[in-house]
Amino acid sequence: MAHTGLEAWVESVARETLPVSVYWCDGSEGESHQLNEGLVRSGGFIRLNEKSLPNCFLARSDPRDVARVEEQTYICSRSPDDAGPSNNWMAPDEMHGRLAGIMQGCMRGRTMYVVPYLMGPPGSPLSKVGVEITDSPYVVANLRIMTRMGRVALEALGSNGTFSRGVHSTVTLDPAHRHISHFPDENLVISCHSNYGGNALLSKKCFALRLASVLARDEGWLAEHMLILRLTDPQGRRTYITAAFPSACGKTNLAMLIPPPRYAEAGWRVETVGDDIAWLKFGTDRRLYAINPEAGFFGVAPGTSSRTNPNALQTCQSNTIFTNVALRPDGTVWWEGFGGLPPDQAIDWRGRDWTPNSPEPAAHPNSRFTAPARQCPSIADDWERPEGVPISAMIFGGRRSSVMPLVYEAPSWQYGVYVGAAMASERTAAAAGKVGELRHDPMAMLPFCGYHMGDYFQHWLDLGQRGGAAMPRIFHVNWFKKDAAGKFFWPGFGESLRVLKWIADRCRGGGAATESPIGWLPTPEALDTAGLDLPPHSLDALLQVNPEEWIAETDSRTAFLARFGDKLPAALLEENTALRSRL
């Protein structure tokens, strides 16, 4: 079942990049074994303790290549107006010219891997095929976990299916020449000089978000930076919820939440459908159905412990690639926030001896585990349902040490879109830049929207028109509000189930709420705090809306939204003005 378009493209890339050989990945066990062995021999992988971490490996990045590089990420649409102010733009011809200089002969001496992959469950009308060409076996090994790779993808593609194209080369990893270039009009990404996750696993942010968001705009669906979870109450009723938080703000933790004992005993369950990306389409009943296009988790390691996220920890006990974590003498891994005492000695993420007295952390703050989703103890039994799962609620949120209450609900879809567009969060280590600084990040998509975000907001509003009353309800949460001493008010992790419960109640027409200028807040009684041991006034602080702070917030939103110029839907500005006057 040859696909002549695919074959011709692969040949043309090989003619340009001049690899010593071309290898088509089939995704089999044997192939994976050979690749991993090869990586161990070449030093790209360190095999971890076979007893406690079977088939697990440690990889260390070039120390200059540890996060996404938004400054060097481009959307090369035909017109700069299509990329918008939140993206770097370059004319496609100019970028192709610049890349030709880099890619010419860039795979000399290396094998070129052709990696067909399927995004989404086999047989799903929401799934799509991508093909990544790469000269990095590390990238191939990660793609094998993160996607459904090889034969299954070629079968879905058939002899004339369409596919998204990605070309990736390590070249020399020189940060100065790094380019992550998207060509939405050609359904193409070219990425060079970085082997880091979001820059090099082109299935993830590049295809499933940046290019897919453009396809979604054109085809009437949504490609979002969202986890998907299934909440089951003691009566067995299921509520499917998506949540958009910026990178490294706890999407994986929320998707794998373990209910506190009191809730677990009563029969509450949270199960995982996805932890990072959701593709959402209308069903025939006009509801939005979501699939997780990925097959693995690329999770932040530091802070993952048996206390904070036992499900994630269990997921990465086998068949996992760890990148930039610390290595213990017994061949197991460690990172800051692992729980328990730090090891007396370890090898840090750069390969240097480390002790608890060392001045720097042992693991890089953005170190990661790449682990198969099917190994997750909390994976939902319908996570690969071809039709997707029907979404009742969408949550927006971020890291905000002040201003934002624990949770509130948008009274309408339009206001909810405004809430998403106005999202802001304190910076994390997932992207290069100053950690802690507040930045606006609409729908957690600022670095991932492949077109003008003004048009993107309009697309959200249009979908609301189409779905009408069947659209999910929209909420905003903030687990990160701090007191004057810098301590979090909310315990977070499993206890956040209490907030999910209120959200699910609201979706069923229950859950007491009070109206406030910013939306519906839970009444203190509606939010179950039994057994939480919150210090006095914490709940008040968590549910407080301070008009002065909020007026300043709306002013900062006015300034931010103005960046989108003419393309900003008037409705969003009106919501902002109306909110300010309510305050």
Binding site for ligand SAT (CB under 6 A): 68, 197-198, 204-205, 247, 298, 430
Among ligand SAT, Mn ion, none, residue 476 binds (CB under 5-8 Å by kind)? none
The answer to whether the beta carbons of residues 516 and 582 sit under 8 Å apart is: no
276 binds Mn ion, rule: CB under 5 A = yes
Task: Say whether 433 sits in a helix, a strand or coil.
Answer: coil
Among ligand SAT, Mn ion, none, residue 472 binds (CB under 5-8 Å by kind)? none
* Residue among 198 and 494 whose Cβ is closer to ligand SAT: 198
384 binds Mn ion, rule: CB under 5 A = no
* Measured distance CA(216)–CA(228) in Å, rounded: 18
* Residue among 205 and 364 whose Cβ is closer to ligand SAT: 205
Question: At closest approach, how far in Å is the CB of 254 from Mn ion?
Answer: 13
Q: Name the residue type at position 366.
A: N
In this chain, which of 17, 164, 247, 309 binds Mn ion, going by CB under 5 A? 247
Element spanning 485, H or E: none
User: Terminus-to-terminus CA distance in the chain, angstroms?
Assistant: 63
Where does residue 176 rank: exposed (0-12), middle (13-18), buried (19+ CB within 10 A)?
exposed
What is the Cβ-side half-sphere exposure of residue 513, based on CA atoms within 13 angstroms?
Answer: 23
* Residue among 270 and 430 whose Cβ is closer to ligand SAT: 430
Q: Name the residue type at position 390.
A: P
In DSSP terms, which residues pair with 379 in a beta bridge? 272
Active site residue 192: no
Q: 302-325 burial by CB neighbour count: b if 16+ within 10 A, else e?
A: bbbbeebbbbbbbbbeebbbbbbb
Q: Collect all residues with Cβ–Cβ distance below 8 Å to 345 and sequence separation of at least 6.
A: 329, 353, 354, 355
Residues 121-160 within binding reach of Mn ion (CB under 5 A): none
Question: At closest approach, how far in Å is the CB of 197 from ligand SAT?
Answer: 3
Q: Which residue is nearest to ligand SAT (CB)?
A: 198
* Residue among 321 and 543 whose Cβ is closer to ligand SAT: 321
* Residue among 249 and 568 whose Cβ is closer to Mn ion: 249
* Measured distance CA(163)–CA(155) in Å, rounded: 12
* Measured distance CA(122)–CA(105) in Å, rounded: 36
Task: Say whether 28 sits in a helix, a strand or coil.
Answer: coil
Among ligand SAT, Mn ion, none, residue 197 binds (CB under 5-8 Å by kind)? ligand SAT
Task: Say whether 558 sits in a helix, a strand or coil.
Answer: helix
Only segment of 64-72, 230-238, 240-248, 254-262 that touches Mn ion (CB under 5 A): 240-248
* Residue among 139 and 521 whose Cβ is closer to ligand SAT: 139
Catalytic residue among 76, 206, 249, 507, which? Answer: 249
Among Mn ion, ligand SAT, none, residue 165 binds (CB under 5-8 Å by kind)? none
Among ligand SAT, Mn ion, none, residue 415 binds (CB under 5-8 Å by kind)? none
Q: 């990425």: which residue's tokens? A: 191
* Measured distance CA(211)–CA(185) in Å, rounded: 9
Among Mn ion, ligand SAT, none, residue 204 binds (CB under 5-8 Å by kind)? ligand SAT
What is the contact surface with Mn ion in residues (CB under 5 A)? 247, 276
Which residues are known catalytic residues? 249
